[in-house]
Amino acid sequence: MKNIAIIGAGTMGNGIAHTFAQTGFKVNLIDISDAALERGMSTITKNLDRMVAKEKITTADKDATLANITTITSIEEGVENADLVVEAATENVDLKLKIFKDLDTTCPEKTILATNTSSISITQIAAVTNRPERVIGMHFMNPVPIMKLVEIIRGYNTTDDVTNQIMEMSKKLGKIPVEVNDYPGFVANRILMPMINESIETLYNGVAGVSEIDTVMKLGMAHPMGPLQLADFIGLDVCLSILEVMYNGFKNPKYAPCPLLVNMVRAGKLGVKSGEGFYNYAESRKAEKVSAQFSS
């Protein structure tokens, strides 16, 4: 597989595109918005510049990586020669199902369709296509160029051959793939999101303040970032969406989102992306400081 198409130029999409391109793959980065594509390429360039400054790559490596990426606003044009498509759109079931229906009709029969979903059933997504055996989950971690883990999730019909190909490709990217089964939240978020949700409950119940909760987890549990700060970094809307998928999937009240989280999302306080969450990021340099702390 040489030609990769990435659907979505947001945080995860541009990070995935960066990673594939830096490894030598030809990448079509696809988004319906020219502005989103410009922001995505700007982020990739800044991250490459940071790697050059730290002497992790050379200027020639940076230039080669950027040359491997083509930005496109048409899905049909962007996937016509793709060996692999990785969907990295918003964590919304209806949106992902629509994208996969479209991909199934526009991609060559050989194309493997992967989703970067962090919680939604791969089997459900695969069921809207005529190639469920060639649909798989590739859940990258944020920030993608830095984090080593990729959760590989096979749907009910995903073949061994497709799974093995994606496992090997992930290794070529310098990642460590871990195969997990198709249940809501998979492994990473099934464990992480209840911890974040319980941290929000702890704040909601007045047990301690934001900085105190994060300090306990950083100093007491050796976490590089407190759970509330991490929730801000992930996006509170994303956390809520994942918890709702798990709650609806398991019908277990332990996954029910905390009312405080629900209200914050309704109020538009989504974390770093909106400028305010559990912390205030009104000044852009504060937001950049949080991102740099997590990716350093």
Same domain, 111 and 11: yes
Q: 156 near 129, Cβ under 8 Å? A: no
CB 77 within 8 A of CB 130: no
Domain boundary among 129, 149, 181: 181
Judge contact between 224 and 191, C-beta under 8 A: no
Output the domain CATH number for residue 223: 1.10.1040.50
Q: Annotation-wise, does 10 bind a ligand?
A: yes
Q: Tell me what pLDDT residue 93 has.
A: 93
Q: Does residue 294 lie within any of the structural domains? A: no
- Please tell me whether residues 118 and 24 are part of one structural domain: yes
The count of C-alpha atoms lying within 13 angstroms of the C-alpha of 35, restricted to the half-sphere facing its C-beta, is: 0
Is the same domain home to 35 and 133? yes
In a domain, 187, yes or no: no
Do the annotations mark residue 174 as ligand-binding? no
Domain that holds residue 262: 193-289
Distance of alpha carbon 76 from alpha carbon 247, whole angstroms: 35
22 and 110 both lie in a single domain = yes
pTM summary value: 0.89
Residue 265 resides in a domain? yes
Residue 12 is assigned to a ligand binding site? yes
Catalytic residues: 118, 139, 151, 189
Looking at the structure, do residues 43 and 158 belong to the same domain, yes or no?
A: yes
288 marked as binding residue: no
Render each residue's pLDDT in the chain as its tens digit; 296 residues.
899 999 999 999 999 999 999 999 999 999 999 999 999 999 999 999 999 999 999 999 999 999 999 999 999 999 999 999 999 999 899 999 999 999 999 999 999 999 999 999 999 999 999 999 999 999 999 999 999 999 999 999 999 999 999 999 999 999 999 999 999 999 999 999 999 999 999 999 999 999 999 999 999 999 999 999 999 999 999 999 999 999 999 999 999 999 999 999 999 999 999 999 999 998 655 445 555 554 43
Query: 200 lies in a domain?
Result: yes
Q: What is the pLDDT of residue 281?
A: 94
Whether 65 is covered by a domain: the verdict is: yes
Based on the domain organization, do 225 and 145 belong to the same domain? no
Which residues have C-beta within 8 Å of that of residue 10, sequence separation ≥ 6? 31, 36, 40, 88, 89, 90
Look at residue 295 and tell me if it is in a domain.
Answer: no
- List the Cα angle 7/8/14 in 5-degree steps: 105
Judge whether 11 is annotated as a binding position: yes
Q: Give residue 296's pLDDT.
A: 37
Q: How many domains does the chain have?
A: 2
Q: Are residues 146 and 225 in the same domain?
A: no
222 located within any domain: yes
Which among 181, 210, 240 is the end of a domain? 181
Residues 167 and 31 in one domain: yes
From 155, 181, 207, give the residue that closes a domain.
Answer: 181
Amino acid at 247: Y
DSSP assignment letter at 139: E
